[in-house]
Structures are given as C-alpha cells and as structure tokens.
Amino acid sequence: MRKDYVTVKGFGETEIIIQKSRFLTYVNRAETEQQAQAFIEEIKSKHKSANHNCSAYMIGEHDSIQKANDDGEPSGTAGVPMLEVLKKQGLKDTVVVVTRYFGGIKLGGGGLIRAYGKATTEGIQAACIVERRLHHLMKVSVDYTWLGKVENEVRGSAYPLERIEYADNVEIYLYVPVSTEEKFVEWITEMTNGQAIIKRELAEFIEFDI
C-alpha cells in the first residue's frame, strides 16, 4: 500500500483570458484511468462548441499512467505543458482539462505553452493541494485506573482521537502516522508502565491541506 502522497482535494475550476482567448480549467482527483477519461468526456460534452478541450492526467502510486492530449492545438503546446505542471508539483491521481475558446489572436507555440501552463497552475490552486498521509487506527486498551492520565495525554498530543469506548476496559482509538508508529507504542507503553494493550485496527489516509 502506498504511503504519503500529494494530490488535489477535489474539483476546482478557473477561467483566464489571454489575448482574447478564454481558457477554462477544470481539475479533479482521479484514482483510475477510467475516472480520468470520464471526467474529460464530461467537460468535453459541456463545451462541445469550444475550439479545444486539452487534457492531461497522472495516475498511480509510481505515476505509471501519464497521458497528455493537445486536442487540435499544435503538437506539444497544450497537453504536454499541462502534464509538466502536474509533474513539477508532484501531484498524483490528478486530471486536468483546459477548454479554449479562440479569441482571434494567435499565440504562437511559446505563447500556447505558457497559457496552458498558467491555466493549469491556477486550476490546481482552485482545487487545493492536499497531502494524504497513511495512518493506522490504533486501539489502546487500559484499565479504568489509567483513564484520566491516558486520555489527558492523548488529547494533548498530535494524534487525532477517533473515539473512546467504555467496556470492561477503556478502549481508546486514535490515528497514528505509519512513520511514527514505533515511537507511539513506546510512548503509550512508558506512560502506562506497560499495562496498555495496543492493537493495530486498520490503515487509512488522512488529508492535510498544504
């Protein structure tokens, strides 16, 4: 399973005008190529009268799926610079579509590359960038005599508290980054003089704005 990675939070949309041409950018998260293609087709159907609906996406833990489409613009002036923005920002599982309505003034190869790059960058900013960090949901079981101390320490820590269940023992559930799991176990063990039972429940990603 992949660990921490950077992607977009969700859907984002922007519009810029360059030399009278309208560039409408649509960004979204796509965890499969099918999702990316469906999003591209959705935007294309929305802008059937546009001169171009250029697209790019990167998908997979190791960016194994990378596609760029110029959709009628001169080769390498639209989809490729859009894909390069995704690479430069290290975004995974992300799809971008830039729709262009031609304004009558030709931009030239360099102008197109800059325009599509700028449109993509602004669209990504609108979608917001997040880091997805892999956490384990850990269950800490302690006797009620430890409840006050452990709960107080946990609530004052950086570990997100999920819930507390009161049964024969107190069961405290909290999220622990995979990278600090060993330190967490040592911390709880020392805090409870080895009286806590610590169990890993499941793996889950938690998103943080960056």
Residue 161: both structure tokens together:
């508290």
Alpha carbon distance 64, 146 (integer Å)? 49
What is the pLDDT, as a whole number, of residue 3? Answer: 81
Residue 82 near residue 55, CB atoms below 8 Å: yes
Residue 69 near residue 41, CB atoms below 8 Å: no
Residue 36: both structure tokens together:
């990316």
Cβ-based neighbour number of residue 2 at 10 Å? 12
What is the pLDDT, as a whole number, of residue 126? Answer: 97
Residue 89: what are its φ and ψ, rounded to 5°? -90, 0
> Residue 129 forms beta bridges with which residues?
8
Q: How far is CA 143 from the centre of its chain?
A: 39
Residue 162 near residue 204, CB atoms below 8 Å: no
What is the pLDDT, as a whole number, of residue 20? Answer: 95
Mean pLDDT of successive 10-residue stretches along the chain, which has 210 residues = 90 97 98 98 97 97 96 97 98 98 95 98 98 96 95 94 95 95 97 96 93
What is the pLDDT, as a whole number, of residue 188? Answer: 97
